[in-house]
Structure 1
């Protein structure tokens, strides 16, 4: 009998990834949307913060003081609810949402921590497919001095973010120095550099990591000199490596392998970020196969070409670094795949 598909999460590997990040920054904030099961494990075994985009997700955490809430189209009722839950750290990327939080706290004896998301130029041919979040740098240079005067704001700072798998194309330090007015640095308490740190996929090699980490360390040194705390906000770098996906082989014919899962319920990231998961034991010296999902969709392909050693029906294929963005659809009646947590 072919076993159902299964995600396996390794606490040990997750801790290893977290430890790498904690050496780079003052604070690690996990982007919870990447994988909510990973978020629940991190809350229990680390001290990291969490970057969250909805109240329903905020409610999943036992300590909401560790939550950075990213505003989008909120009102006074939602802000009040967040405050009541214990959230006091917010990230805002537009003027209407900024005015809402300013008005809310103006007549209340509360303190909040506030980051303004800053829009940076993307150095990639793929930029056009993404929405550009954040205030233009000119607005940042104008708004920060005004916000610094508000007694309701405890810690003030900026947030910026690079697209996943695209971090190696610029200098973080140079970009920030060129963007911010020289007088602004003394007004900043926190800089969140976002995430975007890549992981290993078949179509992306992680050998750029040493250079990326050097860039991050260079910026960290600058911020430390200016007595500014640095937050690194990763999702994929934490969630992907600690999880494998095991699928069963349903059929093999004409060098096609049909498995009992689908990119639609196991690896939507294949479509969204064009990632191709590596398979344990693959080697270019073996015969090549196409690994296809179980739905009739012609796009439902995990790997177009992968060398495997004499695979057989009923055997298990293990996909590596499979933990990022594992949300599923109900296409063709597909079910959400179970995740088990291991040591």
Structure 2
């Protein structure tokens, strides 16, 4: 199992300063191997949902291990191409975007999923049967670890409601659309394998309506364990059930369907470590605050949807256990953990946040005019700076002084 040791993290913190995001390339490779093994009996294809972490070096590593890429914006498409990924291995799933982005994606030669009747009609008018297209459906299934990361329920903005199937079929007929992919992504942090099999049941019912259908995209959202006591999605069980489903649907319709999956967090969450330093200790009533040199400008997940990150004091692992509120340095309430047991914390100690590879740096900002942290990639035992820490000039880079 690929992990970085305390000593390695301390060495990186000493060399590059804190706060710093550290990524372990071998862990990404390990996670991808788990997926490939789990789906080895299935005709399955894996696309890394790169919105989780788009550093160009991460994308290059993803390409090097043979993984495809799923994009959520046209800029992610261009980043993937810049990283050397072939357009045939890139999927662009649009979400409430201007049609010009879809035109750009088609010009790049990537696979496209469309999530609105409006853009589907525009696509039909412009391309007709000349370019294959996928449809993102909303199945009205509630799934995921938090409402903010549930995308398949009836009030979600994502996808075309399954209740509008007649309208989709009408456009398919009117423009002779080659709808080759059906896509359903119900949310994130999905532990129950049966959620994916509900999606499979929907695909089974819909398949006869789409004569060009080849790809059944079940999205991503695999549960990643953040606490030591948690269990993630049983990927092996999912692979077994998907294999059985493919045998069933292939036999029923005389076709050779392929399933697609779009994991983001599963591939990069556990590869990431966020190393911070303790600025101050402050006692207030029964609460002892450990104030660190970061905030939700660098890691917003705990404030955004109450996400849990395991935290360790890697400078003083032999210290007696005590309870702390771990807080940031932003002029907002940016509490990472209340009443968290840590080995005794001292000012200057290094605290590491685990599972920091997904949606950490990617959702960062310069709020309070603070610098974004450095990013470091460890590969083959060597650390490499892959994203420099902001400097003062970066705060002004896109500003235009007129006064």
Among 260, 283, 289, the residue aligned to 1:256 = 289
* Residue equivalent to 1:133: 158
* Residue equivalent to 1:338: 374
CA positional deviation for 1:28? 0.8
- Conserved in 2, the CA contact under 8 Å of 1:259 and 1:294? yes
- What's the Cα RMSD here? 3.2
Greater shift, 182-191 or 42-51, is seen at 182-191
SS at match of 1:82: helix
Distance (whole Å) between structure 2 residues aligned to residue 128 and residue 313 of structure 1:
35
SS at match of 1:207: coil
Question: How many aligned residue pairs are there?
Answer: 335
* Residue equivalent to 1:8: 22
Q: TM-score, normalised by structure 2?
A: 0.73
Q: TM-score, normalised by structure 1?
A: 0.84
* Change in CA separation of 1:244 and 1:47 when aligned onto 2, cut-off 3 Å: same
Among 278, 292, 306, the residue aligned to 1:274 = 306
Distance (whole Å) between structure 1 residues aligned to residue 196 and residue 64 of structure 2:
30
CA positional deviation for 1:129? 8.3
Greater shift, 89-98 or 170-179, is seen at 170-179
Matched, 1:94 2:116: yes
Greater shift, 224-233 or 175-184, is seen at 175-184
SS at match of 2:38: coil
- Conserved in 2, the CA contact under 8 Å of 1:171 and 1:215? no
Distance (whole Å) between structure 2 residues aligned to residue 185 and residue 19 of structure 1:
35
Distance (whole Å) between structure 2 residues aligned to residue 10 and residue 189 of structure 1:
35
* Residue equivalent to 1:122: 142
Distance (whole Å) between structure 2 residues aligned to residue 248 and residue 183 of structure 1:
54
CA positional deviation for 1:98? 0.9
Matched, 1:82 2:100: no
Q: How does 1:289-300 map to 2 (within 5 A)?
A: 289-297=324-332, 299-300=333-334
Greater shift, 64-73 or 121-130, is seen at 121-130
* Change in CA separation of 1:53 and 1:174 when aligned onto 2, cut-off 3 Å: closer
CA positional deviation for 1:294? 1.3
Among 51, 54, 59, the residue aligned to 2:70 = 51
Structure with the larger RCO, 1 or 2 (CA within 8 Å, 6+ apart) = 1
Name stretches of at least 5 consecutive residues in structure 2 with no aligned partner: 1-12, 151-155, 251-255, 380-403
SS at match of 2:311: coil
* Change in CA separation of 1:289 and 1:57 when aligned onto 2, cut-off 3 Å: same
Distance (whole Å) between structure 1 residues aligned to residue 274 and residue 186 of structure 2:
27
Structure 1, residues 253-308: CA drift from partner, whole Å, max 9, x if none? 3221111111222x11222332121013689x8211111111232x2111112212
